[in-house]
Amino acid sequence: MGSKGILLILAGVLVAYYVYSPIPYDIEERWKLMVTDSFFRSLSNLAEISELLGLKHYMGVMMFLTVAEEVVPASDDNVKVTDALFYDVPVVVYEPKRKTNGELNRAVIFIHGGGWCLGSARMGPYDLLSRRTAKELNAVVVSVDYRLAPAYHFPVQFDDVYNVVKYIVQDHVLNQYSVDVKRIAVSGDSAGGNLAAAVAQQLQEDPEIQVDLKAQVLLYPALQALDMNTPSYQQNEYMPILPKTLMVRFWSEYFTSDLSLFHAMMSNSHNSLESAHLLKFVNWSVFLPEIFRLKYNYTMPSRKSSDPSETISAIIDPRASPLLVDDVKLQVLPKAYILTCEYDVLRDDGVMYATRLRRAGVQVTLEHFKDGFHGAMMLTTWPTSFEVGHRMVNSYIKWLDNNL
Query: Known catalytic residues?
Result: 190
Distance between CA 115 and CA 113 in Å, rounded? 6
3-state secondary structure 9-54: HHHHHHHHHHHCCCCCCCCCCHHHHHHHHHHHHHHHHHHHHHHHCC
Under 8 Å between Cβ of 393 and 260: no
Amino acid symbol at 16: A
Under 8 Å between Cβ of 197 and 220: no
Give the sheet arrangement for strand 179-189, strand by strand. 79-86, 89-96, 139-144, 105-111, 179-189, 215-219, 335-343, 364-373
Q: How many CB atoms lie within 10 A of CB 344?
A: 26
Cross-strand partners of 84: 91
Under 8 Å between Cβ of 66 and 114: yes
Q: How many CB atoms lie within 10 A of CB 207?
A: 5
Rg (CA), the chain: 21
Distance between CA 122 and CA 168 in Å, rounded? 20
| Three-state DSSP class for residue 255 | helix
Q: Where are the alpha helices (DSSP H) in 204-301?
A: 231-235, 244-255, 259-266, 273-276, 284-287, 290-293
Under 8 Å between Cβ of 226 and 346: no
The values of phi and psi at residue 94, to 5°, are -110, 115
Distance between CA 299 and CA 105 in Å, rounded? 48
